[in-house]
């Protein structure tokens, strides 16, 4: 008969333990969810940067071909026209390209020691150091493109940026000798 009275006490103790653990799953999820989602978004953002880098390189190669073959010189293309051609090749990234892309095209003396000012030397991007000089037939030309990509995930911009304002600038450079066009 003493066992009948102990059973309800044991059951209520078990129920109390079960109820005390019901919220622990939600608390554990809350502790792990934030770092997990930051890591997941960081992986996605780095993947998008790699895709964008490949798209920018292809677009720069196509825009550089205009200078190398003399089309830019013969059609008297302005830097804005070159940028428009570049942005037309950026596929899904073409919408923001005109405000994010910076173009520098200049004649250099040699391929071994090209003397071109670094627009990132001061720690901030300085577009006043950029120029547009496509050269003539047989000239050595350096084409450099900077593409500014905003980063949302914390700490990635700090890790990938050379600027003091932590802007991520994808950079592509081509050096070539212009063809002997006429």
pLDDT in tens, 34-57: 889 988 998 999 999 999 999 999
What are the extents of the domains in the chain? 28-177
Quickly count: other Cβ atoms within 10 Å of residue 149's Cβ.
19
Residues of the chain with pLDDT under 70: 1-22, 114
Which tokens belong to 36? 């997990």
Dist CA 106 CA 64 (whole Å): 11
d(CA 169, CA 148): 4
User: CB of 89 within 8 A of CB of 54?
Assistant: no
Q: Would the pTM of this model clear 0.85, i.e. be above it?
A: no
Site of tokens 């003397």 = 115
């Amino acid at each position: 008969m003493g066992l009948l009275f102990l059973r309800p006490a044991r059951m209520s103790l078990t129920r109390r333990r079960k109820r005390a653990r019901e919220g622990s799953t939600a608390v554990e999820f809350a502790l792990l969810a934030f770092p997990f989602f930051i890591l997941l978004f960081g992986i996605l953002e780095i993947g998008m940067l790699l895709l964008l880098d490949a798209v920018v390189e292809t677009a720069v190669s196509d825009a550089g071909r205009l200078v190398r073959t003399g089309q830019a010189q013969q059609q008297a293309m302005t830097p804005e026209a070159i940028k428009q051609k570049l942005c037309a090749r950026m596929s899904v990234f073409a919408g923001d390209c005109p405000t994010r892309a910076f173009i520098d095209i200049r004649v250099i003396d040699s391929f071994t020691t090209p003397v071109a000012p670094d627009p990132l030397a001061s720690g901030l991007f300085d577009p006043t150091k950029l120029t547009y000089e496509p050269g003539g037939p047989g000239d050595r030309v350096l084409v450099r493109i900077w593409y500014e990509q905003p980063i949302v995930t914390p700490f990635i911009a700090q890790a990938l940026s050379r600027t003091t304002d932590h802007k991520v600038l994808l950079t592509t450079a081509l050096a070539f000798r212009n063809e002997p066009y006429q």
